[in-house]
Amino acid sequence: MIYLLAGNPNVGKSTFFNFMTLSHVHVGNYSGVTVEKRVHHIKHYEGANLVDLPGTYNVSPSSEDEGIVTYSLLNESYSGIVNIIDSTHLRRNLHLTLQLLELGVPTLLVFNLRDALRSNGYVIDIDKISKRLKSNSICVSARERNNEDRINISEKLKNLRVYKSIELDYHPHIKWGLQRIHDLLRYDSLKVKKKWLALQILEGNEGIYKFIDIVKEEKIREVVKEVEERIIKDEVALSLKGAIFNTRREFINDVVDDCLIQVEDKEHSKYFNQKIDRILTHPGWGIPIFFAIMLAVYQISFGKFLGVGALLTTYFEFIWEQILVYNLGILLEFLGVTGFAYGLIIDGIMAGVGGILIFLPQIVVLFFMLALLEGTGYMARVAIVMDRFLSKFGFNGKSIVPMITGLGCTVPAIMATRTIIDKKERMLTILTIPFISCSARLPIYVIFISLFFDRYRAVIMLGIYLLGIIVTLASAKIFSLSFFKGGGSKFLLEVPPYRMPQLRTITYQALEKAKRFIKKAGTYILLGSIILWLLSNIGISGININPEDSFLSNIAGFISPVFIPLGFGDWQATSSLISGFLAKEVVVSSLNILYVGDIASGFTTLSALTYIVFASLYIPCISTVATIKSETGSKKWTLFSMVYPFMVAYLVALIVRLIFSIFI
């Protein structure tokens, strides 16, 4: 049994999905979090799976992520639909609900955010709205994770059936058009109701035409044109689509007025968001406030003053070095493991993996803070504040969602560009997102900042992130004036209400990222550490040789002169950058191995700064490159995504070196 989970963006679909499946997919209080299908088993319903689809306002797709919803409804096999509805915004949400109900398949209406609705002073008469919409319905708050609600929903799904199909009283001109198109579709072998297809065609869903042969398409378009002419001539509405919308709106208003019951006067709560937004989204103060908030986030995560993450890292490093590594060394000596094998385990594996894992607390704290900002609804306001600014560089305001996602990992960030409708804006975002510093680069920044810029940790960290943003914007401007001229689309984003995020949810999100980080440490970083140590200790003359005579030194020696103008032209630094193509986390493990734990000996303050700058901008990791190839379908742009960042990183690092050589 398969059930499709559909609803508007930001109505709590992912939260509901986690609630029903006891999984922990990413949740954010802004639209665009889900950009692909997720499937998981439903708790208390053996053999049933729930498919979490991207949020959409309409069955007719306007972007790639909405196209996933339309394709699933029309082509895939499923037992029913679960429609998540934001109870606090019924009038808007019910437009999609009517489209789903007119489809004529078993549908469960889940009116979510019951607690928020009650705090606004309202409740829904669930029995009455079920009768009016002729559908199975339940009112819940997925955030509360009430087990009784989960059981009730599972039972309703087991007994899900089709009530008498809902039929709205559309204008006679529309009914005439529906019948004419229905007759033209009569002999087509389609999976869904022909009347629903006919209505979608009249509504302007161009995607339906791929199911119709060319002869009938021409006849159907003639019918649509005639119906629209009649609608406009008789002044029913300004357009055919508008006439359909008006009928639905009238029905929805009647249902909401009948079924939404006010139980307490909470009028003052409506103005809470507006009062805060006057400050946070102010045209003049909004951006400075955003940077101030991010500086505070970096201070808490990495700074010495109030630096929770840095404090935890100190303890974690002590446990790793003084307890785990020390006692492992004693154990190996007791077992008689010495020489080459001892070096591989202690100086290769433990130094490489440990060089990354000691930064885990700071990364967890950072993502906890970012999840906190997402959960409150502030990040959606950031998109609004930044829209006018971003548009000057060729971006759409929705690009801020991939940018925020890119702080975690570039791969899902590139996938999140599917919410951008305009293809040129999407391509522009894909090619510039890798300049946003992902979590994999954090260990590079942290170790160099702690070694060379200890007094200014938070400021330097913010500066590195700002540099990535500046390069992103500059590149976008260049692309918009050259490769992607003429792009541009309207920015529409629903502003969610401010909510108190659940500690459990944001903790899960932070720990899930920590889990992925540890998984990388046990795979890519472990493998990379072993290979690097072996290559740096094996040469033509044998094993346990001077690293200067190793295979790695000989290989990197051909490339390292390229980096001499940047100040770090030795084979160790070059080797670490090459290893970063596998995964950026491997850079730090490589440095620890190749400099035998004394990274500071290989750099001056100035060369450390240029190394950070170059590492923050150069070629993205292999996973990112593969994702760019998958999303763009272009070998040319994939190659460009590798060559262009290297050139930019080199140029920016050189400029930084020339400027700061005056002061350092």
The tens digit of pLDDT for each residue in 363-388 reads 788 778 877 887 777 777 777 777 67
> Do 143 and 204 lie in a common domain?
no
Count of CA atoms in the C-beta half-sphere (13 A) of 258: 14
Q: Which residues are bridge partners to 81 per DSSP?
A: 4, 107
CA distance 533 to 589: 10
Scan for tokens 């007759």, then name that residue. 183
CATH number at residue 9: 3.40.50.300
Phi, psi of 257 (to 5 degrees): -60, -30
> Is residue 270 situated within a structural domain?
no
Q: Which residues contact 471 (CB under 8 A, 6 or more apart)?
A: 435, 617, 648, 652
Residue 565 tokens, joined: 């103008």
pLDDT tens-place string over residues 134-177: 888 888 887 777 788 888 888 888 888 776 678 888 999 999 99
- Beta carbons of 199 and 244 less than 8 angstroms apart: yes
**Domain end marker among 262, 278, 313:** 262
Question: Which residue type sits at 405?
Answer: T
Could you tell me if 182 and 212 lie in one domain?
yes
178 and 82 in a common domain: no
Q: What is the mean pLDDT of residues 605-631?
A: 90
**Residue 459: exposed, middle, or buried by beta-carbon count in 10 A (0-12, 13-18, 19+)?**
middle
Q: What CATH number did the domain enclosing 238 receive?
A: 1.10.287.1770
> Same domain, yes or no, for 578 and 603?
yes
Decide if 76 is inside a domain: yes
Look at residue 277 and tell me if it is in a domain: no
CA distance 348 to 534: 8
Whether residue 341 is found in the same domain as residue 256: no
pLDDT digits over 245-296, tens only?
Answer: 899 999 999 999 999 888 875 554 555 666 777 777 777 777 788 888 878 8
> Would you state the pLDDT for residue 617?
94
Residues 350 and 430 in one domain: yes
Q: Would you say residue 303 lies in a domain? A: yes
Residue whose token pair is 């906890």: 368
- Asked if the structure places residue 228 within a domain, the reply is yes
What is the DSSP annotation of 134-152? Answer: TSEEEE--GGG--HHHHHH
The answer on 457 and 372 residing in a single domain is yes
* Same domain membership, residue 587 and residue 541: yes
- CA dist 465 and 438 (Å) reads 9
Cβ 370 vs Cβ 446: under 8 Å: no
| pLDDT (0 to 100) of residue 280 | 78
Tokens 């801020």 map to which residue?
A: 400
Verify that 17 and 93 share a domain, yes or no.
yes
- Angle formed by the axes of helices 286-302 and 378-391, nearest 10°: 120
- The CA distances from residue 587 to 67, 435, 578, 620, 653, in Å, are 39, 17, 8, 12, 17
Q: With helix as H, strand as E and coil as C, how does 594-643 read?
A: HCCCCHHHHCCHHHHHHHHHHHHHCCCCHHHHHHHHHHHCCHHHHHHHHH
Same domain, 84 and 39: yes
Count of structural domains, the chain: 3
Do 460 and 589 belong together in one domain?
A: yes
**Dihedral sign for Cα atoms in the order 79, 85, 87, 92:** negative
Per-residue model confidence (pLDDT) at position 656: 93
| Higher pLDDT, residue 317 or 616 | 616
Which of 579, 586, 314, 551 is closest to 454 using CA atoms? 314
DSSP letter at 83?
E
φ and ψ at residue 396, rounded to 5 degrees: -95, 150
Instruction: Tell me how far apart the alpha carbons of residues 388 and 9 are, in angstroms, rounded to a whole number.
Output: 22
Angstrom distance (rounded) from CA 623 to CA 236 = 54
What confidence category does residue 486 fall into, taking pLDDT thresholds of 50, 70 and 90?
A: low
- Are 36 and 99 within one domain? yes
Q: Residue 637 contacts by C-beta under 8 Å, 6 or more apart in sequence?
A: 427, 430, 431, 628
DSSP code, position 550: B
Question: Is the residue at 193 inside a domain?
Answer: yes
Say how far apart CA 581 and CA 426 lie, in whole Å: 24
Q: Which of 158, 189, 215 is the last residue of a domain?
A: 158
Nearest to 627 by CA among 407, 423, 433, 408: 433
Q: Residue 21 falls within a domain, yes or no?
A: yes
Segment 186-230, tens digit of pLDDT: 655 556 777 888 888 888 887 777 766 666 788 888 898 999 999
Residue 274 belongs to a domain: no
As a whole number, mean pLDDT of residues 482-497 equals 63
Which residues span the domain enclosing 107?
2-158
Token representation of residue 67: 């196209």
For residue 35, is pLDDT > 80? no
∠ Cα 423 424 426 (to 5°): 65
Tens of pLDDT, residue by residue over 527-559, are: 777 887 788 888 887 787 777 778 888 888 888
Considering the entire predicted model, what is its pTM? 0.65
Closest by alpha carbon to 620, among 461, 481, 430, 445? 430
